[in-house]
Structure 1
Amino acid sequence: MALRDRLRRLVQKPGSVDLAPFRAIVDEAGAREERVRELDEASLTAAAAALRAGDGPVEADDLAELCAVGREAARRALGERPFDVQLVGTLALLSGHVAEMATGEGKTLAGALAAAGYALRGRRVHVMSVNDYLARRDAEWMGPLYRSLGVSVAWVGQASTPGQRREAYRADVTYAPVSEIGFDLLRDRLVTDPADLVLTEPSVALVDEADSVLVDEAMVPLVLAGASELDAADPRYADLVRRLRPGLHYATDEEARNVQLTPAGTREVERALGVDLYAAEHLAVLTAVNVALHAEVLLHRDVDYIVRDGAVKLVSESRGRVALLQRWPDGLQAAVEAKEELEASPSGEILDSITVQELVGRYPVRCGMTGTAMAVAGQLTEFYSLRIAVVPPNRPCVRDDEPDRLYATSADKEVAIVEAISEAHASGRPVLVGTGDVAESERLARRLTRAGLDPVVLNAKNDAEEAAIIADAGGYGAVTVSTQMAGRGTDIRLGGSPPSAAPGTAPASTDGSDHDRVAAAGGLLVVGTGRYHSSRLDDQLRGRAGRQGDPGGSVFFTSLQDDLVTRYAPDEDVRASSGADGRVDDKGAHWIVGHAQRIAEGVDLEIHRNTWRYNHLVGLQRRELLAEREDVLRGDRADRMLAAERPERHAELTGTAGAPAVAEAARQIVLYELDRCWAEHLAILADLREGIHLRSLGRGLDPLVEFHNEAVPAGKRLLPEAKRRSVAAFEALTASEDGIDLDAADLKRPSATWTYLVHDNPFGSLDERAFRGLVSMFKRRR
């Protein structure tokens, strides 16, 4: 290895992938560029088609040719010649890594070239995005490139019909939100005819915003529910808990995100309802009161959710956007709707579910791209066996990241934030302010308005206007106040975007004079109103400024009263003096803020690990049942099984209705009983997981071990029970020369189904609350 390469490797981030082999391939691609540029359109497509020939390991020569052909195809089809670093990112993806590329460095194009590379080797690629808009935009934007390379591309969105989905998934490359792919998988698991299947076999998952999907949303369950007779929340419980007084009737543990009735509160509830609240026969009443209390006290409007169009919409903590299709478990969802005096949304029985982590884990090949991956490199390796390739920017980043400005109180901090924004605005410098939630964004906007500024607010309430707001956020003198939603999938250009820039097209360059005027003022200034619970989210916000070598700056304002500090470092002894403006310069006080953030990240990791341990067992049981279901769906396993169990009955029915009718009836019966048993098993496991904590806590046992002790035998009873029910249903069949009367077999599937993402355990189950007890342990580590 040359001395230059050794030095380069030495300064690379620890744990990252060595880029030297990729650079060598890119250099070789550069040597071929002149030859490839002379090819006509047909020859260029033929050169790409030639790469399809091989089925063995991909050689460096093939990769160099792919880069050269792909670069020329992009230049002609999109008017963009990929930089060398973009091709390095492409090669990292083709090697099964996560490519960390800074904002504005062309991840979309690098991902498209990688997807085409996989497709040319005969593999179907699912490019997983975070929402419909990005899936459609990127598929249409990159469409000419794919066509030039002879690769088919399609996209899937929420409004896509089953037929459109089926066709889209048969393309070489399919862009789709990760949730839609998960929902299609869940629906496929309930089909009773192979012709109704939508998804193809999993091959390659290329994940956009990989850290957000694979870490932040890894444990989010995607749910398929069916209509059932469940009662809506009784509004009288919401009215009752609304009258209770904090401190007197209930006590809140902020660290554990828990609330419970005091003795006085119990007496008040019993007086109002006229029941003995803790009597065994009133367990349902006690549960309803507790859920209503949680909804009233621990879930806050414009923080955890907003109300839009007469419905409760959850807000994603990591993105600041409305969490589309997401809801809490039925009881809590109904309680919040009762609290807001809204009509109850449909509730039903869970037919199946899958976590995002399990969904992505189905793919033999996984890779991804994002601007912030190294902060979660350990988790990406532990849970997905992925490594990080840190791709340097095409132009060095010259953004000025100031040290945090720490204040003693939140009030002092807010005054300082308004002053800093006003000062920057006076010089014409655009400012993007990142806030923690909807309520804070609106409160700060009101203060800025009173200070004579005219801020634009971007939060979950007006997320439909995001593209337009972000397009102007880099304009001269612009002030944009946003939640974390401005940290994903956006690109802020100095001087703003020209009117000609259309969604789904390659962004045009801005007017040079506007760009230069804003650059002369210092470029975009990013202001954070506090540290997030993850340093990754801080980095995402910072990354809005300083794109592609532009000038820019960032600064975070924090206080010792911030939620991060009071929740994760509440007992730290702070004896730092502050100036007249409340600013604290003591190094020990600054250390506490960083320490609290590290604790928060550590606790979140332990919760992720623990939740994965529960879901891993469920996944193994699901896999066994699905293997059985697949054999029944596509073959004659059901017919053979029932013929062996009840040969006389089978012969009788065959003689009356014919062998094909009996085989089809057997298949429908067994599929129904397998699905029925699985839905019941999921309900049992949900009850078991919540109840096991109370039992294990009282006896000092490990809740995970206790869960396994009961869940494993329950799983082993699944298939025998489905078989027993199938035999009984087969015995009860009636037949005639016209066929089998399946309607009389009572194989009633839900009259309606729907899909959603469930915000599982928003307050943490007891085992997760125990992990938050790690705060005290982490706190002692310095």
Structure 2
Amino acid sequence: MALRDRLRRLVQRPGSVDPAPFRAIAEEAGRREDRVRALSDDEITAAATALRGESGSGGPRDAGDLAELCALGREAARRTLGERPFDVQLVGALAMLAGHVAEMATGEGKTLAGALAASGYAMRGRRVHVLSVNDYLARRDAEWMGPLYAMLGVTADWVGQTSAPDRRRDAYAADVTYAPVSEVGFDLLRDRLVTDPAGLVLPEPAVVLVDEADSVLVDEAMVPLVLAGAADLDPADPAYADLVRRLRPGLHYTTDDEARNVQLTPAGAREVERALGGVDLYASDHLGTLTAVNVALHAEVLLHRDVDYIVRDGAVKLVSGSRGRVALLQRWPDGLQAAVEAKEALEASPTGEILDSITVQELIGRYPERCGMTGTALAVAGQLTEFYGLEIAVVPPNRPCVRDDAPDRLYATTADKEVAVVEEISAAHAGGRPVLVGTRDVAESERLARRLGRTGLGCVVLNAKNDAEEAAIIAEAGAYGAITVSTQMAGRGTDIRLGGADGGDRDRVAAAGGLLVVGTGRYHSSRLDDQLRGRSGRQGDPGGSVFLTSLQDDLVTRYAPDEKAKGAPGDDGLITDKGSHWIVGHAQRVAEGVDLELHRNTWRYNQLIGLQRGTVMAERDRILRGDLADRAMAERAPERHAELVAIAGEEAVADAARQLALFHLDRRWAEHLAFLGDLREGIHLRSLGRGIDPLIEFNAEAVPAGKRLLGDARDRTVEAFTALTATKEDGIDLAAAGMKRPSATWTYLVHDNPFGSLDERALRGLISLFKGRR
């Protein structure tokens, strides 16, 4: 066994760690089980409390302490939750306690393993934030694991989108706080505008444990979380949406092979100019019109309803490409968001000046200690190591997986594939076998449901339009004869039990072959394929999976458009030539490479902004919590400082100096963000024309601007301080100092990519158009 393990380590994937030490500790915990089981509830709580202080550095760290933690945690879970953690769950918890990402298959009990790990960190005196992807999972897991935490002497709470500030403050004071990643980010942004330390909500970061780590840390890593303030910005003119809707593809505009860029042709430009009354789109005084037309064209041609977004309750809701759910609070940059709303004839949503923003990656990077759990991490081990310094601990399943994963079936056309999908579902359903069908978007899920209905097969559809019912729908997906058509959301976080939610029909479903997963095409990431496949074969259950793909799938046409099948298809469109099957895998690898490069580029861009943000916020914290501003005014405007102290007193002057310094620092930072946004959007024209890396061009201007920021804010503060007025009766008149903060603020996420932005596409289209006119 030892030799086999050594040989396995020689060929182990980079970015992964050896779980053998964790297994040894779990085995030692097993040897302590009888002794711990004899303890009363109070004795278990006392033993766990004592464990906090036994190690010299606080809490369980050496192998003996960790084995005791596992033994106590296992028994506490058995008593409070009715679940005895398997050894593999203890291994997963120990891997997270060591600062790794635990890869555990679907149904292996990640939620309980995460709670044990969080308890271990809490016993070390470290406050833990367990971050999930939505409110439902945060609240469910906190309440579900609550009795376990209580028996171990650990306090736990949760934060949701509707939580009030005082409620949030109390929740963050607990040892373990469950929250959606976006809410923690928004609380951080709101804290950066408070003018009194008592108004702070979020404590200093210590430990973050990320659920669905691959989704949060990779798929959504570069999503900016934004805090905006009310501003008077014009919404998109619906006339532009009407205009571009009349343009004809090929004649008036063209798109690139990847459908990521759309541009007016010379004929299109002339048609637009004619429709707008003979204007010259390329005259300097009409560049705003050109931008509005390009944005409207992008919204009309490249963003598709029920694919990129849905319309619900009179509003545009973005759909997460990696999860298929509605991307809560997420929106495109203001111009594009307004253009899509105009396209759908909806009321424009509020727009405003960005006061601050932070990416998910930067948010996670604030925590000194990071760990996580997911079912699919090894495929992105390189990115987790590169961007977060995290390694993967692959935890084997408690029972061997016996799922039958059939080879992919490749068809020549989408129509051939869709016929085969219905036949596959019909054949399985005839034997009572439950089927979970994974589609790529809302439109496809609804199209398949209609096709199934025409053949007499009823199904339940789960997509972004009814995601509120996700847990209930997916829990019944294993019922006898059930057909569930789902987008990529597929209920991550909710088990699919054979026989339905209560497992009452388990034996009959198992005899029919268990849950069959049918993929209607490969996703752009192999991890998403694995996530869908992993819905079947839970805890050693029987099951199967098969993916049906076609050469007309978006993945192939976008990322391998020049590849052609070598063998002729059969009468049913099926392609059996092995060489042709390589095309789909090749396209998927290209897509993954593109996504990685986008992540790297966006990270490089945001790294500079993050460094500048860190400098500004450190200054803000010193001003907020201390007397930095007062001392600075006494030094730079000593005469005025002394005069004001004589009139209003030292405390009032110190408070006025702090308020002025905070206001002008916040104002200057918002202006700097606006400058960086404009710089980013305009830098591509210069870089493309001169053949220079846009990142280099960006840094050349952003770095000096950042160095001037603090000095400018301090100078403005001195100027405002010297202009203050005060009287003995009324004190210092801050109202006359012009400190007008936004009348309202709100938070949202931006679906954006700085180096593949709309503006870059528009500029490339402009260059192409000029070439066409010459």
TM-score category of the 2 structures, normalised to the smaller one: over 0.9
2:311 & 2:490 partners in 1: Cα distance? 21
Shift in Å at residue 650 of structure 1? 1.0
Identity rate, percent:
81
Shift in Å at residue 469 of structure 1? 1.0
Shift in Å at residue 25 of structure 1? 0.7
Asked whether 1:102 is paired with 2:105, we answer yes
Please name the residue that 2:199 is paired with: 196
Please name the residue that 1:657 is paired with: 648
Shift in Å at residue 245 of structure 1? 1.1
Secondary structure of 1:51's counterpart equals helix
2:48 & 2:515 partners in 1: Cα distance? 41
1:334-483 aligned at under 5 Å gives the runs 334-483=338-487
- 1:279-324 per-position Cα deviation (integer Å, ceiling 9, x unaligned): 1111111111110111111100000000000000000000000000
**Which segment drifts farther, 748-757 or 235-244?**
235-244
Please name the residue that 2:666 is paired with: 675
* Match for residue 755 of structure 1 among 737, 747, 750: 747
Please name the residue that 1:584 is paired with: 575
Please name the residue that 1:722 is paired with: 713
Shift in Å at residue 761 of structure 1? 3.5
Task: Kindly indicate whether the alpha-carbon contact (under 8 Å) linking 1:703 and 1:767 is maintained by their aligned counterparts in 2.
Answer: no
**Which segment drifts farther, 267-276 or 55-64?**
55-64
Shift in Å at residue 51 of structure 1? 1.2
TM-score normalised by length of structure 1: 0.95
Shift in Å at residue 487 of structure 1? 5.1
Against the structure 1 CA distance between its residues 104 and 600, is the aligned structure 2 distance closer, same or farther, given a 3 Å change threshold?
Answer: same
* Match for residue 164 of structure 2 among 161, 164, 169: 161
1:312 & 1:301 partners in 2: Cα distance? 9
2:693 & 2:234 partners in 1: Cα distance? 34
Please name the residue that 2:614 is paired with: 623
* Match for residue 742 of structure 1 among 725, 730, 734: 734
Which residue identity lines up with residue 294 of structure 2 in the other structure? N
Shift in Å at residue 555 of structure 1? 0.3
Task: Kindly indicate whether the alpha-carbon contact (under 8 Å) linking 1:119 and 1:151 is maintained by their aligned counterparts in 2.
Answer: yes
Asked whether 1:182 is paired with 2:182, we answer no
2:309 & 2:624 partners in 1: Cα distance? 41
**Which segment drifts farther, 730-739 or 576-585?**
730-739
2:552 & 2:731 partners in 1: Cα distance? 74
Which residue identity lines up with residue 196 of structure 2 in the other structure? D
Shift in Å at residue 572 of structure 1? 1.6
Secondary structure of 1:555's counterpart equals strand
Which residue identity lines up with residue 450 of structure 2 in the other structure? R
1:117 & 1:38 partners in 2: Cα distance? 22
User: Cα RMSD between the aligned structures?
Assistant: 1.5
Task: Kindly indicate whether the alpha-carbon contact (under 8 Å) linking 1:15 and 1:388 is maintained by their aligned counterparts in 2.
Answer: yes
Secondary structure of 1:577's counterpart equals coil
Shift in Å at residue 468 of structure 1? 1.6
* Match for residue 116 of structure 2 among 113, 117, 124: 113
Which residue identity lines up with residue 463 of structure 2 in the other structure? N
- 1:260-293 per-position Cα deviation (integer Å, ceiling 9, x unaligned): 1111111111111122111111111111111011
1:681-696 aligned at under 5 Å gives the runs 681-696=672-687
1:487-566 aligned at under 5 Å gives the runs 488-498=492-502, 510-511=503-504, 514-566=505-557
Shift in Å at residue 246 of structure 1? 1.1
1:568 & 1:479 partners in 2: Cα distance? 31
Which residue identity lines up with residue 586 of structure 2 in the other structure? H
Asked whether 1:312 is paired with 2:316, we answer yes
- 1:65-114 per-position Cα deviation (integer Å, ceiling 9, x unaligned): 10111111111111111000000001000000000000000000000000
2:326 & 2:422 partners in 1: Cα distance? 27
Shift in Å at residue 12 of structure 1? 5.4
Please name the residue that 2:57 is paired with: 56
Asked whether 1:36 is paired with 2:39, we answer no
Please name the residue that 2:47 is paired with: 47
TM-score normalised by length of structure 2: 0.96
Aligned length: 758
* Match for residue 336 of structure 2 among 322, 328, 332: 332
Please name the residue that 1:778 is paired with: none
1:9 & 1:764 partners in 2: Cα distance? 40
1:40 & 1:337 partners in 2: Cα distance? 61
Task: Kindly indicate whether the alpha-carbon contact (under 8 Å) linking 2:449 and 2:459 is maintained by their aligned counterparts in 1.
Answer: yes
Gaps of 5+ in 2: 765-774
- 1:164-220 per-position Cα deviation (integer Å, ceiling 9, x unaligned): 000100100000000000000000111100000001110000000000000000000
1:534 & 1:193 partners in 2: Cα distance? 46
Please name the residue that 1:777 is paired with: none
Shift in Å at residue 16 of structure 1? 1.9
Which residue identity lines up with residue 32 of structure 1 in the other structure? R
Task: Kindly indicate whether the alpha-carbon contact (under 8 Å) linking 1:257 and 1:763 is maintained by their aligned counterparts in 2.
Answer: no
1:589 & 1:55 partners in 2: Cα distance? 62
1:719 & 1:16 partners in 2: Cα distance? 43
Which residue identity lines up with residue 756 of structure 1 in the other structure? Y
Please name the residue that 1:273 is paired with: 276
2:695 & 2:537 partners in 1: Cα distance? 47
Please name the residue that 1:69 is paired with: 72
1:147 & 1:664 partners in 2: Cα distance? 43
Shift in Å at residue 10 of structure 1? 5.8
Please name the residue that 2:768 is paired with: none
Please name the residue that 1:505 is paired with: none
2:273 & 2:555 partners in 1: Cα distance? 37
1:47 & 1:648 partners in 2: Cα distance? 63
1:382 & 1:140 partners in 2: Cα distance? 34
Which residue identity lines up with residue 311 of structure 1 in the other structure? A
- 1:226-268 per-position Cα deviation (integer Å, ceiling 9, x unaligned): 0011111111111111111111111111426011111111111
Asked whether 1:217 is paired with 2:220, we answer yes
Task: Kindly indicate whether the alpha-carbon contact (under 8 Å) linking 1:125 and 1:173 is maintained by their aligned counterparts in 2.
Answer: yes
Asked whether 1:635 is paired with 2:592, we answer no
1:642 & 1:762 partners in 2: Cα distance? 39
**Which segment drifts farther, 252-261 or 328-337?**
252-261
1:171 & 1:234 partners in 2: Cα distance? 49
Task: Kindly indicate whether the alpha-carbon contact (under 8 Å) linking 2:222 and 2:359 is maintained by their aligned counterparts in 1.
Answer: yes
- 1:480-529 per-position Cα deviation (integer Å, ceiling 9, x unaligned): 1010011522211111013xxxxxxxxxxx22xx1010000000000000
Against the structure 1 CA distance between its residues 10 and 550, is the aligned structure 2 distance closer, same or farther, given a 3 Å change threshold?
Answer: farther
2:9 & 2:72 partners in 1: Cα distance? 29
- 1:528-553 per-position Cα deviation (integer Å, ceiling 9, x unaligned): 00000000000000000000000000
Shift in Å at residue 659 of structure 1? 1.2
Shift in Å at residue 15 of structure 1? 4.0
1:111 & 1:768 partners in 2: Cα distance? 42
Against the structure 1 CA distance between its residues 541 and 142, is the aligned structure 2 distance closer, same or farther, given a 3 Å change threshold?
Answer: same
1:562-573 aligned at under 5 Å gives the runs 562-573=553-564
1:606 & 1:768 partners in 2: Cα distance? 17
Which residue identity lines up with residue 574 of structure 2 in the other structure? R
Shift in Å at residue 765 of structure 1? 2.6
Task: Kindly indicate whether the alpha-carbon contact (under 8 Å) linking 1:320 and 1:459 is maintained by their aligned counterparts in 2.
Answer: yes
Shift in Å at residue 127 of structure 1? 0.2
Against the structure 1 CA distance between its residues 762 and 358, is the aligned structure 2 distance closer, same or farther, given a 3 Å change threshold?
Answer: closer
1:346 & 1:123 partners in 2: Cα distance? 39
Task: Kindly indicate whether the alpha-carbon contact (under 8 Å) linking 1:51 and 1:121 is maintained by their aligned counterparts in 2.
Answer: no
Shift in Å at residue 55 of structure 1? 4.3
1:216 & 1:32 partners in 2: Cα distance? 41
Task: Kindly indicate whether the alpha-carbon contact (under 8 Å) linking 1:256 and 1:769 is maintained by their aligned counterparts in 2.
Answer: no
Task: Kindly indicate whether the alpha-carbon contact (under 8 Å) linking 2:471 and 2:491 is maintained by their aligned counterparts in 1.
Answer: no
Shift in Å at residue 386 of structure 1? 0.4
Against the structure 1 CA distance between its residues 740 and 609, is the aligned structure 2 distance closer, same or farther, given a 3 Å change threshold?
Answer: same
1:16-31 aligned at under 5 Å gives the runs 16-31=16-31
Which residue identity lines up with residue 249 of structure 2 in the other structure? P
Which residue identity lines up with residue 56 of structure 1 in the other structure? S
Please name the residue that 2:128 is paired with: 125
